[in-house]
Amino acid sequence: MANIFFISDTHFGHAGILSFKKEDGSPLRHFASVQEMDQHTIDRWNSVVRPQDHVYHLGDVAMKKSCLETISRCNGHLRLVRGNHDIFPTKEYLKFFDEIYGVRVLDGMIFTHIPIHPESLGRFKANVHGHTHGSPYGKFGPRYIHVSVEAVDYVPVSLEDLKLRLSE
């Protein structure tokens, strides 16, 4: 049986992100090069995701079109919820992703790139999101689950783990 996973903000090939800082001034990503960052992300991803699994990437795959193909080295059947940096024509993403969404709703949770406004959370159990990079889990409240690579130690989070977090 296939599992379902979620992750966001891989930023493949994005050299500039290596100079980004957290609110406390420490580096957002601790890598010496883009190649090291990309390989670490791929290795961590493939450590849990099998080829038959499904992965929802919640946006910001790569900053340059030439770096989109890096995602092809990641296991799973891929689906994209577009982020603010996913600006290339849809046909470019369809080379690597089976489906593309603006948002996705599964098991009573809403999956987005940017966290939704609390007044919009309404009937949803949770908002699983990316975009905020180094922000801690639950920064916006207990119904928000942050899955940017930095927040999940570069390992995609399973749907079962998300359900468990919500039940705690």
**pLDDT per residue of the chain (168 residues) written in tens, 0 to 9:** 889 999 999 999 999 999 999 888 999 999 999 999 999 999 999 999 999 999 999 999 999 999 999 999 999 999 999 999 999 999 999 999 999 999 999 999 999 999 999 999 999 999 999 999 877 666 778 899 999 999 999 999 999 999 998 887
DSSP H stretches of helix in the chain: 34-46, 90-93, 118-121, 159-167
Domain ranges, ordered by start, for the chain: 4-167
In CATH terms, is domain 4-167 a member of 3.40.50.720?
no
pLDDT value for 166: 86
- Kindly state the tokens that stand for 45: 């991803």
Query: Judging by beta carbons within 10 Å of its beta carbon (0-12, 13-18, 19+), is residue 25 exposed, middle or buried?
Result: exposed
